[in-house]
């Protein structure tokens, strides 16, 4: 299932990696500079139905999301996450770089 074309180049890259390496921890690096070493928890379909305002023209948006648990904060940032916190990754809030804990780059695909 693919809700958005951008998911093929983003979220599905991570999902394919998780399928092949379910135990690997990854480093999620975000554009603002914050980064976290995380372990994969689960994947699920999500939507923005809780954001829809009947008075404002808003369309429902379905998307795939991956849940990770923060094992280590490499560089803190606006998300203010700490060890043990969960983080959702989707096309709506996607890291600019994802690497294995050993430094192998997963995303962006080179």
- The residues facing 98 across adjacent strands are 28, 107
Q: What is the pTM of this model?
A: 0.84
Question: Quick one: which of 42, 47, 46 has its CA closest to 60?
Answer: 47
Residue 71: predicted pLDDT? 98
Residue 60: predicted pLDDT? 62
Question: What separation, in Å, do the N-terminal and C-terminal C-alpha atoms of the chain show?
Answer: 24
Question: Quick one: which of 76, 12, 77, 84 has its CA closest to 43?
Answer: 12
Pairwise pLDDT comparison (45 vs 55), residue with the higher score: 45
Pairwise pLDDT comparison (72 vs 1), residue with the higher score: 72
pLDDT mean over 44-54: 60
Domain count, the chain: 1
Range of the domain at 75: 5-51+59-107
């Amino acid at each position: 299932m693919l809700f958005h074309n951008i998911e093929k180049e983003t979220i599905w890259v991570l999902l394919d990696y998780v399928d092949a390496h379910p135990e690997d921890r990854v480093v999620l690096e975000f554009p603002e500079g914050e980064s976290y070493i995380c372990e994969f928890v689960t994947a699920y379909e999500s939507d923005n139905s809780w954001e829809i305002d009947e008075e404002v023209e808003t369309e429902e948006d379905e998307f795939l999301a991956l849940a990770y648990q923060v094992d280590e904060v490499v560089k803190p940032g606006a998300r203010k996450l700490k060890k043990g916190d969960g983080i959702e990754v989707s096309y709506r809030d996607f890291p600019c770089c994802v690497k294995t804990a050993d430094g192998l780059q997963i995303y962006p695909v080179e």
